[in-house]
Amino acid sequence: ASGGADKIDYVFKIVLIGDSAVGKSQILARFARNDFSLDSKATIGVEFQTRTLVIQHKSVKAQIWDTAGQERYRAVTSAYYRGAVGAMLVYDITKRQTFDHIPRWLEELRGHADKNIVIILIGNKSDLENQRAVPTEDAKEFAQKEGLFFLETSALEATNVETAFMTVLTEIFNIVN
């Protein structure tokens, strides 16, 4: 093909991290393909998915990396973090333990990634309000203390998934422009 219609101005690598089963792969499926599956198998093989969107008249390709079932500390390799300009740190609002592990994931991230990386804390499965184990206030407070963006999402209901990615991508865009 020729012409400028498919010109990409920027490629931004974003990594998804957090405990197993918090919904990382479904958040990505929702964003990249507007898809969701209730019985998603443990992620195998696929390294990343992309979606191209327009920010302030520029074409931005988001390249989003998903862990291939290596969600134990230190199992995620430095290659995974290499070149990342954004990160989504995901926990499950119905599983307190997944939130309690966030400081460790953040430490991992800060140890491997660029110091200017844009990070958003995501409390996923907000549709399961009746099973909530992590108060919104606790997460908000933690995010504020650590200088992270914060949103609660539902990949199932497609709540805030788009907003979460746009928050990160727009912030990165503003940093490089």
Structure tokens at 8: 């990409």
Q: What x-and-dash track marks residues 119-138 binding ligand GDP by CB under 6 A?
A: -----xx-xx----------
Q: Contact between 63 and ligand GDP (CB under 6 A)?
A: no
Instruction: Identify which of residues 6 and 39 has a Cβ nearer to ligand GDP in the complex.
Output: 39
Q: What x-and-dash track marks residues 33-72 binding Mg ion by CB under 5 A?
A: ----------x-----------------------------
Options 23-31, 48-56, 84-92, 121-129: segment touching Mg ion (CB under 5 A): 23-31
CB-side neighbour CA atoms (13 Å) of 152 = 17
Whole-angstrom distance, CA of residue 85 vs CA of residue 3: 29
Instruction: Identify which of residues 43 and 94 has a Cβ nearer to Mg ion in the complex.
Output: 43
Structure tokens at 81: 């973090």
Q: Contact between 98 and Mg ion (CB under 5 A)?
A: no
Instruction: Identify which of residues 25 and 167 has a Cβ nearer to ligand GDP in the complex.
Output: 25
Whole-angstrom distance, CA of residue 135 vs CA of residue 47: 32
Q: Decide if 98 contacts 91 (C-beta within 8 A).
A: yes
Query: Tokens 């844009």 correspond to what residue?
Result: 118
Provide the edge-to-edge strand list for the sheet that holds 118-124.
48-55, 58-65, 10-17, 86-92, 118-124, 149-152
What are the residues binding ligand GDP (CB under 6 A)?
20-26, 37-40, 43, 124-125, 127-128, 154-156
